[in-house]
Structure 1
Amino acid sequence: MVNKLLLFLFLISPLLSNSQEYVDLLNLSYSKTGDTSFENSSEGTTISIFDSKVTLPIVLNEKTALITGFDFNIKKLQLLPNSNFSELYYTRLKLGFSTQHSDRWTGTYVLLPILASDYKNIGSDDIYVGGIAVWTYKKRKNFNYKFGLYTGNEAFGFYITPLVGIYYISPNSGFEISALLPGLFDMNFGISSKTRLGIDYKGNSETFKIQNDKALTTYLENNCLEFSCYLQNNSLDKNLLLRLKTGYSTNSYDVYDVNDKIDLSITPFKFGNNRTKLNSELAYSSFLKVEAIYRFPIYSK
């Protein structure tokens, strides 16, 4: 049974960790920006984010495994100069499966129901449904290609995001690169047996319904790009990775009327986007992040 579990963690790893050598079962992080100014204003805000990701694979048979888990995060910031801090909550369930189509091709398919709002008077308007499909082609033991599609609905309307990526690790494991663009990129190298240096990029897009005077009148669209460098160490436990990150983030926390939508979004393009933003533009900002990852190693033959 243990060997089967290792095999199916290997199969589903393209979605769960962008790697062929491990799967991240738990990821916790907390970040905070420096003072972030509003456009045409002397006022600013800080942005703090707690993020958690849990993935629990369940083996069904020799070719198929269930994928279960959830993501949860909280963002805290001011949406307008001199306003109270708003708290935005994001919960996403993961339910799908991974299957081995052939010796070289693996497919991963996951349904992603989402509840995203300020969690005031939660209702059906706060719920979205998305899904992802990723196909991995194993070129060599230490190198593969990825292709996929992420699609669903958000507060602004329907969106489609094509995905493309690679994974490579050097024979001595000293250098590693993994990517699933446009959302994820990571490159790192070892400086000792327990310490690595890396750079990464994360693109994030999400929407939240916002209650105003107990009425649902607006929503927030967050499009954020994070560029960071990090120091990683696993001295406490070989499977527990602790990271200290510093970086630079774009901040696009845009508020719109709840009925102000677009025709279609195909990343990075938005069609029929004639919306009127109701809040001020936020400047870019630096941030500091601490991150803990429980990583389950996979030893493939």
Structure 2
Amino acid sequence: MNIWEQLNNIKIYKMKRKIIQLLFLILPFLCNAQEYIDLFSVNYGKSQKTTFENSSINTSISTFQTNLTLPIVLNEKYTVISGVNFSSYSLQLFPDSNNNHLYSTNLRAGLRISYSEHWSGIYLFLPKVASDYVHLSSEDIYLGGLALLKYKRNENFGYSIGIYGSSEAYGMSMVPIIGLYYHSPDKRFEMNFFMPNDADINYSLTDKTKIGVDFLGHGNSYKLTTDNIRSNYVENNSIDFSSYVQRSVLDKKILLRLKMGYSLNQFRVYPLDQKLDLQILALKFGDNRIRLFEDKSNTIFLKMEAIYRFDLSTVKK
């Protein structure tokens, strides 16, 4: 073996060692029964055209979202959780307007703490920047946080309970959370609930093909710039119900999904100086706001999604 082959073998060995070290850093990240972690995802969706209330003008909604998760294990008890999520909407908020563009960039920073073999907690600081991104300022920054207690009974079942809170353009919002995960012993049937935000039920037809149904709830607020002036904000509450076909490629590391579903979209526009006292799920306290406009664009939509998933079970074995 010549010197170049020796150097090449050394490089390959070092690369493999770094990859193995990275896998074992990621391994303890999820404390529930899930045996995978989605490190990166991206999706794009578009609705069919629909008309405004009492109007013949057509509009459609385009959505884009990407998410990156970066866990870093400090030791057996503590794992740093970091990541970023970006999402956008493009739609007409008024029948006589051009398309409005609404953006949100959410950061995640916090800890996962392992208390025992079965119990753990996740505590996250969740700041975000949400508006039409015209004349960005510190007023577009909102602060939030998540506290979640998780129980893993075994490799197939786990549940969680927690609370999420965030400041919004309309005031303070609080959301209680209940989570549930189940994977059948034969690994074909899976349920993953994180209510009231999302839920997924799927079944494996083959080793690489799945069919499923999911639910996704959106809740956000965005400040609007009209004629170069900030005078209004949008409160968005949307619910997507969809069915999908999923195909895994590249040794099941990349998941490709084609979705079709029905979206209940609600975009309400309010004056910037009008707020409520507190919102808990759909309950609104001290809500004396005067709505300027409401767009209820309930439509059929198509969505394409790609996910980079790391299978933890391959390392455990």
Same-fold call, TM > 0.5? yes
Q: How does 1:119-134 map to 2 (within 5 A)?
A: 119-134=133-148
| 2:61 aligned partner | 47
Does 2:280 correspond to 1:266? yes
Q: How does 1:155-234 map to 2 (within 5 A)?
A: 155-234=169-248
Is this contact kept in 2: 1:37–1:44, CA < 8 A?
Answer: yes
Is this contact kept in 2: 1:36–1:282, CA < 8 A?
Answer: no
Deviations 1:100-145 (A, max 9, x none): 0111111011111100011111111111011111111112221011
Deviations 1:7-46 (A, max 9, x none): 32233xx5xxxx6111100010000000122111111211
Q: How does 1:23-38 map to 2 (within 5 A)?
A: 23-38=37-52
Deviations 1:47-78 (A, max 9, x none): 00110000011111111111111000121111
CA RMSD in angstroms comes to 1.4
Does 2:29 correspond to 1:9? yes
Deviation beyond 6 Å, 4+ runs, structure 1? none
| 1:118 aligned partner | 132
Is this contact kept in 1: 2:26–2:72, CA < 8 A?
Answer: no
| 1:153 aligned partner | 167
Q: How does 1:268-287 map to 2 (within 5 A)?
A: 268-287=282-301
| 1:105 aligned partner | 119
Is this contact kept in 2: 1:38–1:280, CA < 8 A?
Answer: no
Residue 74 of structure 1 aligns with an amino acid whose one-letter code is: S
Deviations 1:152-202 (A, max 9, x none): 100010111000011000111100000010111000001111000000000
Cα 1:3/1:251, change in 2 over 3 Å: closer
Structure 1 residue 284, shift from structure 2 partner: 0.8
| 2:97 aligned partner | 83
Is this contact kept in 1: 2:231–2:272, CA < 8 A?
Answer: yes
Residue from 275, 299, 305 that aligns with 1:291: 305
SS of the residue 1:172 aligns to = coil
In the superposition, the TM-score normalised over structure 1's length comes to 0.95
Is this contact kept in 1: 2:203–2:211, CA < 8 A?
Answer: yes
Distance, in Å, in 1 between the alignment partners of 2:133 and 2:87 is 12
Is this contact kept in 2: 1:8–1:64, CA < 8 A?
Answer: no
Is this contact kept in 2: 1:10–1:298, CA < 8 A?
Answer: no
In the superposition, the TM-score normalised over structure 2's length comes to 0.90
Residue 36 of structure 2 aligns with an amino acid whose one-letter code is: Y
| 2:79 aligned partner | 65
Which consecutive unaligned segments of at least 5 residues does structure 2 have? 1-20
Identical amino acids, percent of aligned pairs: 44
Residue 9 of structure 1 aligns with an amino acid whose one-letter code is: F
Is this contact kept in 2: 1:29–1:290, CA < 8 A?
Answer: yes
Structure 1 residue 3, shift from structure 2 partner: 6.3
Q: How does 1:240-255 map to 2 (within 5 A)?
A: 240-255=254-269
SS of the residue 1:10 aligns to = coil
Distance, in Å, in 2 between the alignment partners of 1:94 and 1:126 is 17
| 1:140 aligned partner | 154
Distance, in Å, in 1 between the alignment partners of 2:89 and 2:292 is 19
Distance, in Å, in 2 between the alignment partners of 1:69 and 1:189 is 29
Structure 1 residue 236, shift from structure 2 partner: 4.1
SS of the residue 1:5 aligns to = helix
